[in-house]
Amino acid sequence: MPESVKKFADEMLERKPTKLLKQLISELDYLDKEDIDLIKKAYAYSSVAHEHQSRKSGEPYIVHPTGVASILADLRLDKESIAAGLLHDVLEDTVVNEALLKKEFGEEVLSLVDGVSKLDQIEHSDIKHHQAESFRKMMLAMVKDIRVILIKLADRLHNIQSLHALDQGKQIKIAKETLEVYAPIANRLGIFNIKTALEEEAFKYGYPFRHKILSSSLKRKLGNQKRILKKISKRISKKLNEANIDHKITAREKDLYSIYTKMKRRHLSLDKIIDVYGLRIIVHSSQECYQVLGLVHEVYKPIIGKFKDYIAIPRVNGYQSIHTSLLGPSGTPIEIQIRTKDMDQVAESGIAAHWKYKSATGDDSAPQIKAREWLANIKEIQGTAHPEEFLERIKLDLYPDKIYVFSPDGDIYRLPNNSTCVDFAYAIHTDIGNSCIGAKIDRSQVPLRTVLESGQTVQIMTSRYSSPDPSWLSFITTAKARHNLRSYLKDLNVEQTIVLGKRLFDNALNSLGKKQRNIKKEQISGLLERMDFKDMEQFYESMGVGDKNPLLMAQILLGDEELENNADDHKPLLIKGTEGVSINFAKCCLPIPGDTIIGHLSKTKGLVIHRRQCHHLGTFIKESSRWIGAEWSDDIEHELSTEITVHAKHKPGSLAAIAGKLADNGCNVEQVSLATEYEDETIDILFQIQVANRKDLADIMRGIKAMGNVEKVSRSLH
């Protein structure tokens, strides 16, 4: 049977090209004759293989693979990609087998066709697990050869352009799948012409009523804007000509689905969307882009807060352009995009721009570099056991609502909105994420859970003695951070996870002003029964692997009434940047807020806070990697213990007088001891007292020093 396909295909190659083939060849002027001969051959084999098949619309089936090849030609892809586009359905729907394809077209074309065919086999399964598995296979096929997904995107685009032939149920299913998966992938790869085309068709079929209402409303809104836009274009063009800048200005209309998602995301009416219509200015160099920016701001006033420089800081998919919004005639807001010709080509074709699989130089365009970074990330997290989990992780990366932050060295990192310091740590490197213990934003120390904002400089503090904290799962955002944290927790043995879980639970209780030893047995039993745990070890293990949140478990254990009773007399004390870490204050130097402090990572006590002047710091000089910078939180509301030494005349009543003075200052005395008696009838008295901060302590010490029988007052250092 395959032999007959070869025979008829060879005969077809001897005949005049069909109208479909002529049209396709006319789009391949960037390829040489040898390349086009391979594509003619692929068309002949596809045409013969699908000869007795037709589409739901009634058209001959060959219309579909030719349409796919035409879309790939528009991206200016190589001959293997276009041949595979023509042949992408033959393994699944016809008698053509892999041996024939390999013999006639080579290993490369076979690999591409086979990759697309395997994706199609389970694509329309209604079982959630299989859908997720299909998505996982698609992503991994893309990692192997990104042309597989480019062919798949072209296949989906041509199919969705003929959805009218299907029943409404299938139309909605395919349209929504396109909006949720395929359009975001096209966007992530920077192929905006395919992304926009997919969204345009999918929105029409997936949300027909919304599409109809928005479309008619937009037509009314834009009725007068075209005339205004022409006037603005002429005025800007005149200004650029005066500056001798060669340019091209085109009008651009924001696509309907982008307007809809913006309205939905920002809860805005159509009237509040200001960049529905705009102009695109194409020049020759980046330098001219910035010149044009200055000139258009001279012609029309810019709208404050509506400027984005994607040339200096490209988007995550490699897109580069300058965006600015201006107040045109009568206050009409107009968005201007300024870019070079190369940037414009990249904006339309993304990773497919300047295609160079066979490049001798190996130079990649920005989108190709960005895409390869993304694919490397996909490859890193592909080992998950659950396809559904893999699907959710990758979807986080498909929606480009990103922020950008800087490392102290000036490197730019793009992260999803709501990313935290921990997400940033994992974005730098897995080892950085696993060992992070604190962070600084713009040189100020912050908790690891702090949500980042664009433009910030973030520094991560690490320690080789530190390990990831399961509580991070409650606030991290990126797929990479979640994957690595879960992988770390799964690698711990049961004993380790139980110990870790107990420590986390104890810390959570401490933050609520309770000790586990003071909890009634009935409360513990009730919690275990309520959460369906057979014993405390199983309970601790669940927190150690990140399944249960320790703070939530502690709150459930204590109940609302007990939490309310504790709310006033215990406020959580924080050292910036140490959320989830057990904090202790060194007995040797008793630091208080206002002191310059440093943290020491202890294997048994967690993070121990010392004063910088502490005499014990020299003892640990060989353990420099265990020391980290520390800074007081801004919201400490209860008092800490410290110790002062009072050198006074040894007279009857001296101790009582000093203690009375402390009491008059509202100071709680925890402990008093006589340290040293001197021959000149003076004595050192040690007072351990509670104070709010260093300033209060200074006031107390001045008050005591002013007493007639006191000669000297100092902070104690053991």
Helix or strand (DSSP H, E) at 33: helix 33-49
Order of strands, edge to edge, in the sheet holding 444-446?
A: 444-446, 436-441, 458-462
Look at residue 689 and give its three-state secondary structure: strand
DSSP string, 424-460: HHHHH-HHHHHTEEEEEETTEEE-TTPBP-TT-BEEE
Burial 469-492 (b: 16+ CB within 10 A, else e): bbbbbebbbbbbbbbbbbebbeeb
CA-nearest of 257, 61, 85 to 154 is 85
Sign of CA dihedral 515, 517, 523, 526: positive
Listed in sequence order, the residues at least 6 apart from 441 whose beta carbon sits closer than 8 Å to its beta carbon are: 421, 450, 452, 456, 457, 458, 459
Active site residue 78: no
CA-nearest of 498, 282, 317, 484 to 397 is 317
Amino acid at 479: A
Contact 329, 234 (CB under 8 A): no
Catalytic residue among 37, 59, 93, 98: 93
Terminal C-alpha separation, the chain:
93
Helices and strands (DSSP H and E) totals, the chain:
28, 18
Listed in sequence order, the residues at least 6 apart from 572 whose beta carbon sits closer than 8 Å to its beta carbon are: 511
Contact 577, 447 (CB under 8 A): yes
Contact 308, 322 (CB under 8 A): yes
Q: Hunting for tokens 């509202």 — which residue is that?
A: 666
Maximum Cα–Cα distance across the chain: 124
Catalytic residue among 11, 59, 92, 380: 92
Contact 187, 178 (CB under 8 A): no
Contact 580, 471 (CB under 8 A): yes
Active site residue 93: yes
Point out the residues that are catalytic: 92-93
